[in-house]
A = this chain, B = another copy of it.
């Protein structure tokens, strides 16, 4: 069945109420019953929840073949928890497990062998980078993987579309009752926003920590009332890979030009006024935008009301200079933001439900004025692909891309016109992750295109001095530089389903005929 971005969704995936994507607000005011966990009551006093090891926790949780386990990715490339837990599950002979992760990255390459041997047969994740992405595109995973944005993952959990049997929550600190925090310890990650949701919806919750602290560990990100067991292990992560002390400030003239254009576009919209709100990713041009904004804010005496999202040092700098009112934080990308959250009086941890669930009673993304986002590909309908590479292999992550694009008043995509001699702007993206309906401005180093749906924005940029172009003109420039890209050939086999944040299917990813591995 053809959906609203023109993608064909095989009927086989449209059962149990699953619909094709029908527009970004299709499910506004949709009524549903939330999911809830099964609980075993701890009526007796003084229950110390610390158990001997992960294997004991897995046994006590009653983890069985076919169940779903969850993980968060706040430790990023330094995460040890996923592999540690999956080793135990494998060694106990448990099979047919679905992993519901907020994201999976290069740290999790060892999971590929469990995909190959049938320990893992299902995946739900935002990112599936590196070897796991290759394995998925090679068709090694038994069931199609679900690609879900951060908000979409929370929606799926809170609505019961995915039910977590056991959540394994790596936590920098915990007490014996399971009050766990993202702060402190030896593997400090700042916040536990993804895991806050898992803790409330999983039947069983296991906190995995390397730093047991005195009771009560307050204020907790994960509350003892939601935790069944606590496991103390030597190390939950590699602190050096969790966050970098030094951020890459781009010096690439092309990236700086893109950032300059994006900033100029932003400040020329009517939303650039005192109290505006803002999110940006962690890429070079995005970080540069945050820095470039400052002189405009100073000049016009404009302060940012709040910033959300993945947080980085440039944002903390603005907060400390009094140029941001409040930061609400669902992920920390560096040591500066880890140190600031829950310490600076206006820098707060939020759950990813507060951050981006499209189907609760109003997430923070709904209040966003601006978001600056990257793209692997953009097409003539302004659809964006952030999940498949130019070879059709899964290697990206929608993250909060889809959610912030839809929630914000003005979404700005920053991308080079071509990358490694491959056009970024093209007739049609390989995979639609973010529908053009939610994408407002495309900024490249060559020109800036405004979505024709947003005539209002086009009008406000007319005298900005920006090199305004149509998306077709940008595409033509890209093709002129790098040639028209050849279509990737795919087999019929669907290896992943791309779920829009509201639970509808926006695209499917098929197995490329030739998977070229790095």
Interface residues of A (CB under 8 A from B): 24-47, 49, 177-178, 205, 214-216, 218-219, 223-228, 305-306, 325-326, 328, 346, 348, 353-354, 357-368, 406-409, 502
Contact = CB atoms under 8 A, between A and B. Distances in A.
B36 A29 contact: no
B31 A43 contact: no
A27 B40 contact: no
Given A361-B224, A363-B225, A28 B44 contact: yes
Contacts of A348: 218-219
Contact of A32 (B29, B39, B361, B365): B39
Nearest to A40: B31
A362 B177 contact: yes
Given A36-B34, A177-B367, A328-B218, A42 B224 contact: no
A36 B157 CA distance: 13
Contacts of A41: 27-32, 358-361, 502
B28 A360 contact: no
Given A29-B40, A407-B45, A216 B328 contact: yes
Contacts of A353: 225
Contacts of A216: 306, 326, 328, 364, 367
Contacts of A366: 42, 44-47
B42 A28 contact: yes
Contact of A224 (B28, B362, B409, B502): B362
6 contacts: A27-B41, A34-B39, A43-B359, A45-B409, A47-B366, A216-B367
A184 to B, nearest CB: 14
Given A326-B216, A328-B218, A224 B177 contact: no
Contacts of A218: 326, 328, 346, 348
A269 to B, nearest CB: 15
B354 A215 contact: no
A289 B307 CA distance: 48
Nearest to A409: B45
Contact of A215 (B42, B224, B367, B502): B367
A218 B325 CA distance: 11
A40 B359 CA distance: 8
Rank and list the top 10 A-B pairs by shortest CB-CB distance, nearest first. Answer: A36-B36, A41-B359, A34-B36, A42-B362, A28-B43, A225-B360, A45-B366, A30-B41, A28-B44, A31-B40
Given A44-B366, A366-B44, A360 B39 contact: yes
A225 B154 CA distance: 12
Contacts of A362: 42, 47, 49, 177-178, 224-225, 227
A174 B212 CA distance: 36
A30 B43 contact: yes
B39 A36 contact: no
Contacts of A223: 354
Contacts of A346: 218
B38 A33 contact: yes
B361 A225 contact: yes
A453 to B, nearest CB: 15
A348 B406 CA distance: 36
B39 A31 contact: yes
Contacts of A407: 45
Given A28-B42, A216-B306, A225-B362, 5 more contacts: A25-B44, A32-B38, A34-B37, A214-B325, A218-B326
A251 to B, nearest CB: 35
Contacts of A305: 214-215
A45 to B, nearest CB: 4
Nearest to A362: B42
A311 B506 CA distance: 52
Contact of A228 (B205, B306, B361): B361
A360 B226 CA distance: 7
A32 B45 CA distance: 19
Contacts of A40: 29-31, 361
Contacts of A39: 31-34, 359-361
A29 B223 CA distance: 19
A351 to B, nearest CB: 8
A246 B28 CA distance: 51
A25 B38 contact: no
Contacts of A34: 36-39
